[in-house]
Structure 1
């Protein structure tokens, strides 16, 4: 059996009791380590919490070479752990489909996701979010502009945009870095992004939320990861008041 278990937003204690029960009963524990991270803990702490070894998995293994994991799941009780909710990522949905195609039983234990947490932290209403996008670090001779296309399309429809920030190994994109990249794209397109909302360490005891113009946000120290960015559309009165009260707008 293969069970997908969400670990929540920040540290080892965010997992549900149901999830923890499945983990401690499992024969094999895998931890997906590329779409997101639990910034408030480490693999070693998780192993101590679970009382069992945890094997980290990276993108190439999960997307291209999951045969060993799936073979184990045919004979053993295997759990696949990830930060947030398991099925927010399409790569996890694909893995579940591969398992089902082999006749492997699967299950999901859901958990808090950043896609819902941003609504509580920012006050932006969840039904007003459009398509989300990911903002990667530019590479040599490669500067993707698709995120700006998504943002501008959402703004034209009066919809907010959730922007996932890149993780490369131990390098985590910050909110100010993300804003600088988007401002560069917008300038080249003669477009404007009027407002940003940056969020850091969602799920921790002291999350940090700040709203403002590009100039304002780029001058703010958001502290340690993980960071995420929201581009709001035209605000409702309640959304604006919430941002004024809790995000320094």
Structure 2
């Protein structure tokens, strides 16, 4: 039997009862010590529970030893214990593929992941996150450019970016990662820059976890606990997100109140609203029959809705509302009730 067991956010408190039971029932447990930072407290806890059955596994043990570990699972109960959730990294999916190939039965026990924990702890809507990126230690210029492009693409789509930081050799600090990204972003241009608000989450799940909002250029001045760190680059936020961020972070949430990253969608909505409002004001001043006036009132309601959605950061809803307004005006023109040009 092969088990992949998620052990949570790196401390004993996040071990589920099912995970602990599976570990204790195993003949051997390989503890993944390279895909995330694990507290010495958790390692000591597992040593006391498992004794000599616990193997501290490094990258080579897991990536090069898949076949051997699965082979052992044919005759004994073997567990690979993984920080977070065991299927969030392709490293561990390979174990299941090998088990299927070798006819070995397997079980997956899920755990709390730093990815879902970070999204939840930020206060931002989980439905508004785009592609996730990772900043490696000693990342090259091309790698950093790729990350910056992803951040820009997410922003343009109104999506927040979860930026994971390398955990190798003690972990990458938020200030280091942001400093590297800002240097590249300055050359590339775009919305992401020194004044961009970022949410920094340090040591989620630990007793000294820390959550703060600051400008990207100010991260170096913060006194943060050691890694693991996670950074979130928000897109335009909605009012309920801003209130949640303020409630869940120690300070800086007010930076999001006036934050409006450059966006072609926002510019398009503003342009459409201005154009439709101009046409509507001219038509409303003309003499219209009762039915036409009623429809123009409906058009005005859609324009006001579009403005409200725009102010609330709901860009898609703003564009939808203004398109309804434009459609009604076009219909009135087609049937000869009004005359205007866009």
Q: Single out whichever of 93-102 and 61-70 deviates more from structure 2.
A: 61-70
Whether 1:27 aligns to 2:27 is: yes
> Which has a greater percent of strand?
1
Q: Report the alpha carbon displacement of residue 95 of structure 1 after superposing the two structures with TM.
A: 1.8
Query: Larger relative contact order (C-alpha < 8 A, sep ≥ 6)?
Result: 1
- Counterparts of residues 1-249 of structure 1 (less than 5 Å): 1-39=1-39, 41-138=41-138, 144-145=143-144, 146-168=146-168, 170-193=169-192, 194-247=196-249, 248-249=251-252
Q: Distance in 2 between matches of 1:21 and 1:176?
A: 39
TM-score between both structures, scaled by the size of structure 2:
0.68
- Cα deviations by residue, 1:148-204 (Å, 9 ceiling, x for unpaired): 222111111111111110122x33101111111111121121233222111011112
Secondary structure of 1:178's aligned partner: helix
Q: Distance in 2 between matches of 1:143 and 1:58?
A: 28
Number of matched pairs: 247
Structure 2 unmatched runs, 5+: 253-342
Moved >6 Å (runs of 4+): none
**CA contact under 8 A between 2:30 and 2:55: conserved in structure 1?**
yes
Secondary structure of 1:118's aligned partner: helix
Calculate the aligned-residue CA RMSD, in Å: 1.8
> Which has a greater percent of helix?
2
TM-score between both structures, scaled by the size of structure 1:
0.92
Secondary structure of 1:225's aligned partner: coil
Q: Which has the larger radius of gyration?
A: 2
Q: Distance in 1 between matches of 2:29 and 2:13?
A: 17
Q: Report the alpha carbon displacement of residue 94 of structure 1 after superposing the two structures with TM.
A: 1.9
Q: Distance in 1 between matches of 2:13 and 2:40?
A: 10
Q: Distance in 2 between matches of 1:183 and 1:142?
A: 11
